[in-house]
Amino acid sequence: MEHIGQNSPLGNHTALVEFILIGFSDVPNLQGFLFGIFLIIYIVILTGNTLIIMITKVDPSLQIPMYFFLQNFSFLEMCYVSVTVPRLLADLCRQNRSISFVTCAFQMDIFVSLGSTECLILTAMAYDRYVAICNPLMYPVIMNNRLCIQLAASCWITGILVPIGLTYNVFSSPFCKSNELNHFFCDVPPVVQLACGDTLMIETLIYVIATLNITVPFVLILGSYVNIISTIMKLPSATGRAKAFSTCSSHLMVVTLFFGSGIIVYMEPKSSHSSGMDKYLSLFYSILIPMFNPIIYCLRNKDVTVALRKFLQKVNVP
């Protein structure tokens, strides 16, 4: 364990300069099995999202705003899992699981940035569905190329900039407790738990960012879907209602899974945090949900399914 001397209002203590990621070392007999499982999941995520990006770019029937946002979402998902999974796979193969402060801070900032961007992209996708179903005649005018690009750029820029202050405040705090993180990556809650002294400002900042990047987008998405469902229920044709629902169901499933686990982890009071539970919840929203997303969008969206079938037939043609 590497330390440096440091004085603080708490008195003399040794401050940590690196963490040890416990990960899944508490189940040593399952290291090989877990490596295989996570490697397969990682390959599925990369392959599935790459296919979605390719077919939505080449298929003429998918050149509409909904699939432009889906392209952004799929690329984001590949980046999102690549922040945590390669490190997890490496740690499952070695004894030394130490991670420096700089690397830990970088991983946390990128992970939170991409998570924030995902919340905003999902909100933009909900707005797209809202306009398409509640105001279909004006849809081509409202959701023009310029607005789509502006919305996507705003999501990426905002998502990247917002967590910088949080990361700075977290790693400006002294760390004088155990340097063992009961986690498989540098997520915010387990790192803050190791900080010394008064962490009220950091916890307040976490709640503010979580409210702005998780709760507010979630409320906006719910508002969009209240209007969407209200409009769909007024459609006279059962076939029309089924078709309208089918264009929203995949997005709604992804929103429920991602926001549900994110709200539990980031909005839960620190006093009730369980590091073990946080680890498995993080596993759920950082790895498992990204694996389900391309499957959900392919199986629940008929347009994507048809386009994928045509794409695979072209690939297999000699």
pLDDT the model gives residue 71: 92
Whether 13 has a pLDDT exceeding 60, the answer reads no
Cα torsion 308, 311, 316, 318 to 10°: value is 170
pLDDT in tens, 255-306: 888 887 777 777 665 555 555 677 777 888 888 888 888 887 776 677 777 8
Average the pLDDT over each of 28-42, 81-95, 156-170, 302-316 and give the range with the smallest value.
Answer: 302-316
Compute the C-alpha angle 239/51/311, nearest 5°. Answer: 70
pLDDT the model gives residue 16: 65
Across the chain, what does the average pLDDT equal?
Answer: 83
pLDDT in tens, 20-34: 998 888 788 888 999
Distance CA 124, CA 67 (A): 12
Domains and CATH numbers, the chain: 27-316 (1.20.1070.10)
Return the DSSP state at 213.
Answer: I
Whether 242 has a pLDDT exceeding 50, the answer reads yes
Distance CA 64, CA 145 (A): 9
pLDDT band at residue 73 using 50, 70 and 90 as cut-offs = very high
What are the DSSP calls for 100-122, one per residue?
Answer: EHHHHHHHHHHHHHHHHHHHHHH
**Torsion region of 174: left, alpha or beta (phi above 0 gives left; psi -120 to 50 gives alpha):** beta
Section 47-55 average pLDDT = 90
